[in-house]
Structure 1
Amino acid sequence: MPHKSIIKIKAATNNEAGEGTSKLTNAQRLRIERNQAKAKKLKEAKLVAHPSATFQNNNVTEERPSAGQGNSIIKVQGTKYIDSGGGFLLEQPVLPTADTTAAEPAELPIIEDAIAIPVVYEECLECGDQYADSYLFNNFGHSVCDKCRDTEEKHSLITRTEAKAEYLLKDCDFDKREPPLRYISRKNPHNVRWGEMKLYLHLQVEKRAMEVWGSEEALMRQHENREDKRDVGKARKYNKQMKQLRMEVRSSIYTKKTTAVHEHEFGADTYNEEEDNYTHSCLTCPYTETYEKM
């Protein structure tokens, strides 16, 4: 009897399941089929395969060794990786074989239509050799090669402030006069927060000074004239300060004009009986004073 009841219960559940599936709509059946296909693809993407089996999906191949043979090998687009089991892949080293070592490297295609760019050579003013690249020529347009460059004396650099003080040049002589002097910018070594320094080639600055003043003698005369004017200004300022100091120390020499205070000189008193008071007037000014006597 118990076996019969179990058989009846199973038959009843199968009938109910058949009735449930027959009641599904077309949209529900399509959704179930899509979910099943999605689950199948997800299972394939996880690369879960039987040991010692090979599974390929989107150029990804996993070779799982049998028990005791080490980690699995995954091949992605021709490159083999070893699954370390710790969440990352290690690239498998490729050992050279007889075929790979004997194979010659592929030849690069020859471009026949390539444009040949001619190299322009400059002649050094110091040694006369030709060169294709130079620090002074690239930055200042001065044709001297790097071998002949003298950074200490002949080809030294000078700041704009020093050049204006030494050669008595103005800003227009650097920027407006043709051709404008070329320079390089560098950080100020005294304080990095200040503006960048403009460094000029000393030779070019000296040449520009000769264009402005004409000769070294004229430049020297300008220095002397400015020095004389500077001395006269210093002497004038010194005399003014000394005069001010004498005025403060010896004040008796310098008297200030002060206005005299007027003192009234009154005449005879006049008695007023009605108001019972007296009045007198100043003899030198029209001032009149009224008072009472006790």
Structure 2
Amino acid sequence: MVRHSKHAYQPYTKKKPEKKEEKIPEGAIRLPGGLLDTNAGFLIQEDEVVEETELTIVQEPGPLLGAGLLRCLECGNDFQDSSLYKQFDHSVCDDCRDSEEKAHIITKTEAKHEYLLKDADLDKREPTLKFLVRKNPHNPRWGDMKLYLRLQIEKRALEVWESQEEIDAAKERRTENREKAKMKKLDKSVKELRKAVRTSLWTKDLSSHKHEYGEETYDEDSDMYSKRCTTCDHELQYEKM
């Protein structure tokens, strides 16, 4: 009796992969040559049909409810989110944002000039201020503009200068110094202009001059003779022996 081994060869049939059903757009007609008539006025290659795939949609998490509510600094009401909070971390709801004063934007250049702030006051002083970046409307090649919320700039200026009176006094001092610098520059320009005019009017004649005398005259009182140059009025006096 022949005993069969458990590991005896057992033939099997390899399962062929199922042919994936090709999908074509609804209403399309398959034509020879791998073309599809889409009934939309044009033909496409069948292999260009992109199969529908599942899309992963990433959504930003919504605002937290309950404990995550924000309190508006203007009206005191709770709100979930607002444009001013997103852009500048400024806790003001969208209803109060409609006021032009609350949402007024100022450029970095204006902030430095109007409130006498330095770059370090805006970029490095804690807490750092958030800003928007926009193309320069006057000339895009000048670089992007930084836009700040005016209310936050005013608050930062008071932190630096301690009071509005100090800001105004510093502005007056800078204006006076600027006027003094202008007058000093103007006086220097006037002096240089006067010097240039005098130099142009007075030129030293380095060429030799030969006198051409006129008629001789005699002075009886001094018993002297004289004659005068006709070009330079030089007078030559002499006596005759």
TM-score by length of 1: 0.49
Query: Aligned pair 1:184/2:132, yes or no?
Result: yes
Work out which of the residue numbers 169, 176, 180 in structure 2 matches 1:221.
169
Offset at residue 187 of structure 1 (A)? 1.0
Q: Tell me which residue corresponds to 2:79.
A: 131
Task: Describe how 1:204-219 pairs up with structure 2 within 5 A.
Answer: 204-219=152-167
Residues 150 and 156 in structure 1, CA contact (< 8 A), matched pair in contact too: no
Offset at residue 128 of structure 1 (A)? 2.1
Q: 1:85 to 1:255 in 2, by over 3 A?
A: closer
Query: Aligned pair 1:152/2:100, yes or no?
Result: yes
Aligned-partner Cα distance in 2 for 1:183–1:230? 31
Q: Tell me which residue corresponds to 2:218.
A: none
Query: Aligned pair 1:83/2:44, yes or no?
Result: no
Aligned-partner Cα distance in 2 for 1:131–1:140? 16
Query: Aligned pair 1:121/2:41, yes or no?
Result: no
The count of aligned residue pairs is 162
Q: Tell me which residue corresponds to 1:237.
A: 185
Aligned-partner Cα distance in 2 for 1:80–1:253? 98
1:259-291 Cα shifts (integer Å, max 9, x gaps) = xxxxxxxxxxxxxxxxxxxxxxxxxxxxxxxxx
Aligned-partner Cα distance in 1 for 2:99–2:178? 34
Q: Which amino acid aligns with 1:243?
A: K
Q: Point out where structure 2 has 5 or more consecutive residues left out of the alignment.
A: 1-17, 40-62, 207-241
TM-score by length of 2: 0.59
Q: Tell me which residue corresponds to 1:202.
A: 150
Q: 1:89 to 1:166 in 2, by over 3 A?
A: same
1:228-266 Cα shifts (integer Å, max 9, x gaps) = 11111111111100001111112389999x9xxxxxxxx
1:2-34 Cα shifts (integer Å, max 9, x gaps) = xxxxxxxxxxxxxxxxxxxxxxxxxxxxxxxxx
Q: Which amino acid aligns with 1:181?
A: L
Which of these two proteins has the greater Rg computed from alpha carbons? 1
Structure 1 counterpart SS, 2:95: coil
Query: Aligned pair 1:168/2:106, yes or no?
Result: no
Of structures 1 and 2, the one scoring higher in RCO (CA 8 A, sep 6+) is: 2
Aligned-partner Cα distance in 2 for 1:82–1:243? 91
Structure 1 counterpart SS, 2:81: coil
Aligned-partner Cα distance in 1 for 2:24–2:172? 84
Offset at residue 154 of structure 1 (A)? 2.9
Q: 1:215 to 1:79 in 2, by over 3 A?
A: closer
